[in-house]
Amino acid sequence: MKTQVGIIGGGPSGLLLSQLLYVNGIDSVVLEKHSKQHVLSRIRAGLLEQGTTQMLDEAGVAAGLSKNGLEHEGVDLVFEGRSCRVDFFGLTGKKMTIYGQTEVTRDLYEAREKSAGCVLHEVSDISLSALDTEKPEIGFYHHDQAKSLQCDFVVGCDGYHGVSRMAMPEAIKREYQSSFPFGWLGVLSETPPVSPELVYAYHQRGFALCSMRSTTRSRYYIQVPLDEQIDDWSDDRFWEELKKRLPPGLARELITGPSIEKSIAPLRSFVCEPMRWKSLFLAGDAAHIVPTTGAKGLNLAVSDVRYLSRALSKYYQSRDSRGLDNYSRQALARVWKSSRFSWSLTQLLHQPYDRDSAFSSRIRRAEFEYLLTSEVARLSFAENYVGLPY
């Protein structure tokens, strides 16, 4: 098999890159280790920056988003019962949109299938070779048959545990990471959201988040220690604990119901430098992971794809390689700024579970007071939350 761009990973970043390349007349093949049904069954966040919605529109996959997306002009930060609303639209002129990552992925699948795009599922034993040449090769098994894909460039969109980053020489790679001693217990339910906008709440018992997927489906989270077991959390126990962490008025309005999905996710930060080596490029979780607090995971993956799709288009249109040469630097500049915001927001809103908690508590309180009393602080928060400029 031959193509121009070989893409490893059939999640939203890999599919979006493939679709954008198609729009610009560039051939690609996507290799995904799981089935399509498995990819679409994964429950992920769906809070999209304005830049992300623009990229989906550019890719021709924004019809569902335009019809079903919920636009948000702000969020409510609650700290020990006191509320601070950050008016995104009033401060920056930008909005956020709620549209589930599963729906984004489904829309991308439909677009790739409509254009007869090549997406191979249930691929195994992927290996990369000749990455330091102009003709790299991807070896893999598909339906128990050994195959190879020759291409000009390889793009790893295969997540933290994928083979792409592992193929980069250790001598040129540096990885940075920091983990938090807690996670998020999340519940998805067929219940109307308790608030028309997201509510982030800090409480002495721990963090809580009220979010949504639609006007009839809600997503709620509470902070728990990493050693918590999901089987120990019945629906009744979860709802009871969530109510304790919300302001009394909001807790009274909360409509509860059976959980559709329940899981515990750890919170951590991870960045790999560089994001390119020779013919290999990394995008999304293959290169960086951010705490979910700042809703930056999918949005950062899309910004990587934005930089890379434009660079590849320039290269194939005029053999201009400057965008490819600058890809890692451009992408990492945005990654580190978004990582800083996600890390600091996580620090602000969570119980630290450490011996220095008294000092940390006062620092968090001072940070909230600053947001509450300073429009400049709220502007900075809003600018980072809605997405920094590309």
Domain 5-72+95-177+268-346, CATH 3.40.720.10 — does that match?
A: no
Write down the pLDDT at residue 355. 59
Mean pLDDT of 25-29: 98
- The per-residue pLDDT for 356 is 65
Q: Tell me how far apart the alpha carbons of residues 321 and 319 are, in angstroms, rounded to a whole number.
A: 6
Pairing of the two strands 199-202 and 174-189:
unpaired
Mean pLDDT along residues 159-187: 96
The sheet carrying 259-273 orders its strands as 82-87, 74-79, 199-202, 208-212, 218-225, 174-189, 259-273, 288-289
pLDDT given at position 109: 97
For 188-201, how does the pLDDT look when each residue is reduced to its tens digit (9 = 90+)? 999 999 999 999 99
Residue written as tokens 């793009």?
155
CA distance 41 to 206: 29
- Say how many C-beta atoms besides its own lie within 10 A of residue 44's C-beta: 14
Q: Which residues pair with residue 154 across a beta bridge?
A: 6, 280
pLDDT, tens only, 317-374: 999 999 999 999 999 999 999 999 999 999 999 988 765 678 888 899 999 999 999 9
**How far apart, in Å, are the Cα atoms of 347 and each of 39, 80, 317?**
31, 15, 45
Question: Is pLDDT above 80 for 45?
Answer: no
Q: Are 326 and 382 in contact (CB under 8 A)?
A: no
158 confidence band (pLDDT: 50, 70, 90): very high
Provide the mean pLDDT of the chain: 95
CA–chain centroid gap for 1, Å, is 31
- Residue 304 CB neighbours (<10 A): 30
Q: Are 57 and 49 in contact (CB under 8 A)?
A: no
Query: Under DSSP, is residue 321 helix (H, G, I), strand (E, B) or coil?
Result: coil
pLDDT digits (tens, 9 = 90+) for 52-89: 999 999 999 999 999 999 999 999 999 988 999 999 99
Residue percentage of the chain with pLDDT more than 90 = 94
Percent of the chain residues past pLDDT 70, beyond the cut: 99
pLDDT band at 42 (very low <50, low <70, confident <90, very high): confident
Angle at 67 between CA 66 and CA 72, to 5 degrees: 65
Helix (H, G, I), strand (E, B) or coil at 237: helix
Question: What does the domain layout of the chain look like in residue ranges?
Answer: 5-72+95-177+268-346
pLDDT band at 161 (very low <50, low <70, confident <90, very high): very high
Q: How confident is the model at residue 44 (pLDDT cuts 50, 70, 90)?
A: confident
The per-residue pLDDT for range 252-266, each reduced to its tens digit, is 999 999 999 999 999
Which residues, 6+ apart, have CB-to-CB distance to 247 below 8 Å? 78, 81, 83, 201
What pLDDT is stored for residue 360 in this prediction? 84
Give residue 172's region: left, alpha or beta (phi > 0; psi -120 to 50): alpha
Q: Can you tell me the mean pLDDT for 235-251?
A: 97
CA–CA dist 162, 14 (Å, integer): 13
pTM of the entire predicted model: 0.95
pLDDT band at 231 (very low <50, low <70, confident <90, very high): very high
Q: How far apart are CA 198 and CA 207, in angstroms?
A: 13
